[in-house]
């Protein structure tokens, strides 16, 4: 039967089985056992186990019990100090310490020495918030024009809130990878293959970064995305050669277009300048013709006035000017033979050299040997001629 059943108080193991029923008067007491007595009994039992002779020498046994009690207390104190000292820890620069009390969030420790209640009461989770984490993903994706493209994407991020990073999402790295793949598939699925292979890679990466950050903020993942880069975007390997030919064709098209634009930019200004020059020359020729016509008309009008004043003198002048204009380009010499036919002298040596040489007006020599090719000076046409001029002629 158990020792603590009613009527069995004498079987209390702490009171010593040899004094039941009297002989010490302790059998009838129901209070808690004496702590010193418990320690002495425990010491005697330990001594009996290790050969200490606990049955003899009551006085010696009492002294050894006191020494054992002091040793146990010292051990307990040392163990307590060591246990409390285990709560000291140091957080490195760029890290944060999340203190948990029985698994529940308590506080965030800053870099430097810190202390928490030792295990198992409190524990510390260290979170690196300074280093950049990277995730790379490569997969085949479907474009808006139903083509398959091989995309290689890399995402870099870092921890922004260590508490959210630890408690809101079970596996932040895996969640970030899944969100990244979903965002890239969404952006690729809304664009054509030609746009993705060309100038659309940077635009897709920028828009995907916004989508990834919004999704992670909605999950409370406690991370911030720093960079999203589409490192590779190409068609699947079996059709890469065909796509390469298509890309080369597009490049040739762009090159030919640029060359044509360059030629147009060079020839159009030249043609415009030539057109402007021709237009200016035509305008100048027009003005020249008009001015010559106006000058001829004015000259004719003036000549008519002078002719009306002195018809004979004007007629002779016109004849001489016409003869000079007609005969001015020849190398002929005419000798005026009075009373006979005129003699024409042809200097063959001069005639042979007349090609490209400067010609002189013809010389008319009369029978007296006087050069009469130059007419006598005419009177001033601006004044009325002398009436005796006709008689002089």
Above 90 in pLDDT, residue 285? yes
Phi, psi for 228 (deg, rounded to 5): -130, 120
Pairing of strands 333-335, 364-365: parallel
pLDDT mean over 257-269: 90
Q: What angle do CA 228, 230, 235 make, to 5 degrees?
A: 155
**Coil, strand, or helix at residue 144?**
coil
| pLDDT digit string, tens, across residues 286-328 | 999 999 999 888 888 888 888 888 888 888 888 888 888 877 7
Give the separation between CA 346 and CA 333, rounded to whole angstroms: 7
What is the chain's mean pLDDT, rounded? 75
**222, 163 Cβ separation under 8 angstroms:** yes
Name the packing angle between helices 35-49 and 58-85 (round to 10°): 100
**137, 176 Cβ separation under 8 angstroms:** no
Residue recorded with tokens 């001029």: 389
Q: Would you state the pLDDT for residue 289?
A: 92
Above 60 in pLDDT, residue 393? no
Instruction: Output the pTM of the full model.
Output: 0.45
| pLDDT digit string, tens, across residues 77-115 | 888 888 888 888 888 888 888 888 888 888 888 888 888
- Of residues 292, 308, 364, 288, the one with CA closest to residue 333: 364
Terminal-to-terminal C-alpha distance of the chain: 189
| pLDDT digit string, tens, across residues 14-40 | 444 444 333 434 444 444 556 567 666
Q: pLDDT confidence of 48, banded at 50, 70, 90?
A: low
Q: pLDDT confidence of 275, banded at 50, 70, 90?
A: very high
**97, 130 Cβ separation under 8 angstroms:** no
Above 90 in pLDDT, residue 72? no
């Amino acid at each position: 039967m158990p020792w603590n059943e009613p009527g069995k108080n004498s079987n209390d193991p702490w009171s010593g089985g040899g004094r039941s029923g009297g002989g010490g008067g302790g059998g009838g007491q129901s209070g808690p056992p004496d702590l010193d007595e418990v320690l002495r009994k425990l010491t005697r039992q330990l001594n009996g186990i290790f050969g200490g002779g606990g049955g003899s020498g009551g006085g010696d046994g009492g002294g050894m019990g006191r020494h054992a009690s002091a040793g146990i207390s010292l051990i307990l104190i040392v163990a307590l100090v060591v246990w409390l000292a285990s709560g000291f820890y140091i957080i490195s620069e760029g890290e944060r310490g999340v203190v948990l009390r029985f698994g529940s969030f308590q506080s965030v420790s800053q870099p430097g020495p810190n202390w928490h209640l030792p295990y198992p009461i409190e524990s510390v989770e260290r979170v690196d918030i300074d280093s950049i984490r990277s995730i790379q993903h490569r997969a085949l994706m479907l474009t808006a024009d139903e083509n398959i493209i091989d995309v290689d994407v890399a995402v870099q991020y870092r921890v922004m809130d260590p508490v959210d990073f630890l408690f809101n999402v079970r596996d932040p790295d895996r969640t970030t990878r899944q969100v990244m793949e979903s965002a890239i598939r969404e952006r690729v699925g809304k664009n054509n293959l030609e746009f993705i292979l060309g100038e659309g890679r940077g635009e897709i990466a920028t828009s995907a970064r916004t989508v990834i950050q919004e999704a992670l903020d909605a999950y409370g993942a406690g991370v911030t995305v720093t960079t999203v880069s589409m490192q590779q975007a190409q068609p699947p390997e079996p059709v890469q050669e065909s796509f390469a030919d298509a890309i080369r064709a597009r490049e040739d098209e762009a090159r030919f277009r640029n060359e044509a634009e360059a030629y147009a930019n060079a020839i159009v200004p030249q043609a415009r300048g030539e057109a402007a020059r021709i237009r200016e020359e035509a305008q100048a020729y027009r003005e020249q013709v008009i001015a010559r016509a106006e000058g001829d008309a004015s000259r004719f009008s003036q000549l008519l006035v002078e002719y009306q004043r002195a018809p004979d003198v004007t007629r002779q002048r016109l004849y001489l000017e016409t003869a000079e204009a007609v005969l001015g380009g020849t190398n002929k010499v005419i000798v005026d033979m009075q009373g006979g036919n005129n003699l024409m002298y042809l200097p063959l040596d001069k005639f042979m050299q007349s090609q490209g040489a400067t010609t002189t007006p013809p010389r008319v020599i009369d029978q007296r040997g006087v050069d009469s090719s130059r007419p006598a000076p005419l009177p001033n046409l601006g004044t009325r001629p002398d009436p005796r001029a006709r008689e002089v002629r």
